[in-house]
Chain A
Amino acid sequence: MDDSLALFIEIVPTLLAAVPVTLVLTFLSAVIGNTLALPVAVGSLSPHIYLRYPSLFYIFVMRGTPLLAQTYLIYYGLGELFPGTWVQQSFLWPYLRDGFWYAIFAFSLNTAGYTGEILRGAILAVPKGEIEAARAYGFSRFLIFWRVTLPRAIQICLPTMTGETILLLKATSLASLITVWEVMGTARQIQKVTFRVYEPLIAAGILYILMVFILTRLMMVVEQSINRHRLASV
């Protein structure tokens, strides 16, 4: 038992050093993925079938296949394209050799699919009267979307997005399988070095619980600040 405790104290700094990697993976994937989700959601609601069908198909593929398969496909699949071509000599190569950027790419595309579907539902849930009111004021179609539909849709789907972001934070542990040393990968590395099974995993687990807890609190603050006008009127 003392033994375990000593090991805990020994490995916690190493694991803590990996926390920023997990957080950056989560943050960048969330920002890129949620931005990409916007055209996906709008496309899936478009009256033009050339926009609608590809968007719906994209959402279906991203939600219908395992994230791990997508990650492997992107990491190994794209990875086999580059060696031996001009890319290897270009300035991009240091980035393209690193699993980190493939992980971000895979998680972003995946998030775009999931959030795209959520946003699609939220846009449909915006009350018709508000859009009609904006039209009565003479807003252009773009302005209606930018000032009325989108802000309302985001407000509607924010609680779901909080859940999605937590799922993303947990999903970044898959990056450890394509040689990214985030918290999970570091824990497995420590397992191999110390020949101890449980302590690294449990320590990593505690860190994940803390991160999820803090993220939940942060998202609550965001939700409150977005809904502040509603609270004020109560």
Chain B
Amino acid sequence: MDQASLFSLLSFGPDGWGMRFVEGLVVTVEVSVAAYCISLILGLIGAGAKLSNSKVARGIADLYTTLVRALPELLLLLLIYFSGADALKFILSLISEDFEDFEINTFAAAVAALGFIGGAYMTEVMRGAILSIPNSQIEAAKACGMSRFLTLRRVILPQMLRYALPGMGNLWLSATKDSSLISVLGNTQDLLFMGYRASAVTKHYGFFYSVAAILFLAITIISMIVIKMLEARVNRGYR
């Protein structure tokens, strides 16, 4: 097969894989964004727990980050995917018998699992960022009579962003790459899954996996530009 016909396989028409790859790209970005949002929330909670006075909260947060960071992402993904589905099924079966053949949405389960994994890494990033804020800032807020929540919203969050952003940027890049793991779960329609499908059907493995890799690279390039811009913005008062 010559070069031209290889690229005709990528056309956007009904015979080409072009549109499928664009759909895959969208799914990958959607999964990454959703998982990243969950990891942001878990990261904030985790960092709060790690810095809290409660021994129990610290213990749970430590267990969370240690376990997640010691286990392979693939294993965690499968474990959470299966256990999440089973737990939901169990809860729903308590509510009503109508949910007997309830099937969990692969997309939602994958997002939950990836978010849970990212949350552990995010916890460490946020914890470091909060610790980087000069203590006097928090004392000043206290002296002004700000409540703890107000201190968090007006002093800690805006200032920690500057320290957290490099780590958060890295985690976003890993989130986009880790999202490729969900193709293992089966019919996920994400970018790598499309590469898998297209190459399995056409037998042009090298070509279609390269296409998928190049599209991942495109996500990375755009993300890096946006992260640069964001970093310049949060640092605008400091240079």
A residues touching B (Cβ–Cβ < 8 Å)? Answer: 60-61, 63-70, 72-73, 76-81, 166, 170-174, 176-177, 184, 187-188, 197-198, 201-202, 204-205, 208-209, 212-213
Contact = CB atoms under 8 A, between A and B. Distances in A.
Interface string B172-189: 010001101101100000
B205 interface: yes
A68 B183 contact: yes
B74 A209 contact: no
A134 to B, nearest CB: 33
Interface of B: 67, 70-75, 78-79, 82-83, 86, 173, 177-178, 180-181, 183-184, 192, 195-196, 199, 203-206, 209-210, 212-213, 216-217, 220-221
The main secondary structure of chain B at its interface with chain A is: helix
Contact of A65 (B70, B74, B181, B216): B216
Nearest to A78: B206
A28 B86 CA distance: 38
Contacts of A80: 203-206
The 5 closest A-B pairs by CB, nearest first: A77-B206, A76-B205, A64-B220, A173-B72, A66-B180
A201 B83 CA distance: 11
B216 A173 contact: no
A64 B222 CA distance: 11
B213 A69 contact: yes
A205 B199 CA distance: 32
Given A66-B180, A198-B82, A171 B72 contact: yes
Contacts of B205: 72-73, 76-77, 79-80
Given A64-B216, A73-B213, A197-B82, A208 B184 contact: no
Given A76-B209, A202-B79, A205-B71, A64 B221 contact: yes
A184 B74 contact: yes
Given A68-B180, A77-B205, A204-B75, A212 B70 contact: yes
Contact of A72 (B73, B177, B195, B221): B195
Contacts of A212: 70
A208 B69 CA distance: 11
A208 B71 contact: yes
A176 B74 contact: yes
B184 A69 contact: no
Nearest to B210: A73
A65 B83 contact: no
